[in-house]
Amino acid sequence: MLTPIFEPHTHMVSRVTDDYERMAAAGIRVVLEPAFWLGQPRTNVGSFIDYFDTLIGWERYRAAQFGIHHVCTFALNPREANDQRVREEVLQLLPRYLEKGGVVGVGELGLDEMTPTEDRVFEAQVELARQHRLPLLVHTPHRNKKQGFLRCLDLLRAANFPLERVLLDHGNEETIELTMGTGVLQGFSIYPNTKMDPPRMVALLKKYGVERISINSACDWGISDPLSVPKTVTLMQAAGFSAEAIHQLVWRNPVDFFAQSGRCSETEWLTPTEKAPLSATGTTVVRGGGPDSEGCC
């Protein structure tokens, strides 16, 4: 029996439809797409507006064609937080986007180079999460990772933000020692080369269990694998993990965490998406839509 999978960190705008097809076949029911940078700096706020609109518009629609629910989080990412060309205007944009349907958190905020400006933008967005009653999806630095985790925890505690409403992402064998028992949901990105790989992840799960842990692919335009969560599940099965433990790791933990947003529910996520477009009343499926109706070109 295939467990449903909630994949809590994907950048689907950079993936092709084959990926959606394979993800759906592997049991992925929900993808969460946190707003992040696009590989190179944006030079004006308009690029953010169009990117945000794409996530709630076309990308959500595209995912639904493959039976996958697409939810997202919005934030000013830590890399571009350092860029004065966009910083203030993007922060001003967020209240409006954080109220959208299907927006289940503030993210990826976080730290990258750990500059004072990143701290300030981090704090401002923690405040936004409080105002809009949303959980946080926090990106941690690739370099100087342990210090980055400690700094994030300091900032969150100083802001008195409830840690059960924080997903601290991109962890590894070292950072879990810092986050165990803090109450945060500990995220691990299974990303070839730079982060974790499936065998390392399974070894870590053997040692620490699945409590307050969540795994994701963080798939994007880099060398990454949108199937790394189901592949890890296969390795877990081979290693003798129970179906319950696997279900908790890849469904229960992320579902409970993001349901804290109050914007979506497990029942909704277990209901198949309408593969053909909804009619205007949202109740009946009309004929003729879907990927083979008109196409884009």
Interacting residue ranges for other proteins, rule: CB under 8 A:
49, 52-53, 56-58, 60-61, 95-96, 99-102, 263, 276-282, 286-289, 293-294, 296
CB of 96 to other proteins, least distance (A): 5
Q: Strand (E) positions, 180-280?
A: 185-189, 213-216
99 contact partners, CB below 8 Å, separation of at least 6: 132
Helix (H, G, I), strand (E, B) or coil at 40: coil
Q: Which is nearer to other proteins, 252 or 263 (CB)?
A: 263
Query: Token pair of 25, please?
Result: 């076949």
Contacted entry of Zn ion, other proteins, none for residue 36, CB cut-off 5 to 8 Å set by kind: Zn ion
By beta-carbon proximity to other proteins, the closer residue of 94 and 204 is: 94
Specify the residue, 28 or 218, whose C-beta has the smaller distance to Zn ion: 218
CA separation for the pair 259, 17 (Å, rounded):
27
Task: Find out whether the peptide bond into 244 is cis, omega within 30 degrees of 0.
Answer: no
Please pick, from the candidates 6, 36, 37, 149, the single residue that binds Zn ion as defined by CB under 5 A: 36
137 within 8 A of 108, measured Cβ to Cβ: yes
Kindly state the DSSP code that residue 250 receives in the 8-state scheme. Answer: I
Residue 104 or 246: the one with the smaller Cβ distance to Zn ion is 104
211-250 residues in contact with Zn ion (CB under 5 A) are 218
Tally: H helices and E strands in the chain? 13, 8
Pick between residue 11 and residue 87 the one whose CB is nearest to Zn ion. 11
CB of 148 to other proteins, least distance (A): 32
Instruction: Spell out the residues 6+ positions from residue 120 whose beta carbon is closer than 8 angstroms to its own.
Output: none
Please give the backbone phi and psi of residue 214, each rounded to the nearest 5 degrees, phi first: -145, 145
Q: Choose between 81 and 236: whose C-beta lies nearer to Zn ion.
A: 81
102 binds, among other proteins, Zn ion, none (CB under 5 to 8 A by kind): other proteins
First to last CA, the chain: 39
Q: Which does 288 bind (CB under 5 to 8 A by kind): other proteins, Zn ion, none?
A: other proteins
Q: How far is the CB of 275 from other proteins (least distance, A)?
A: 12
Applying CB under 5 A, which residues contact Zn ion?
36, 218
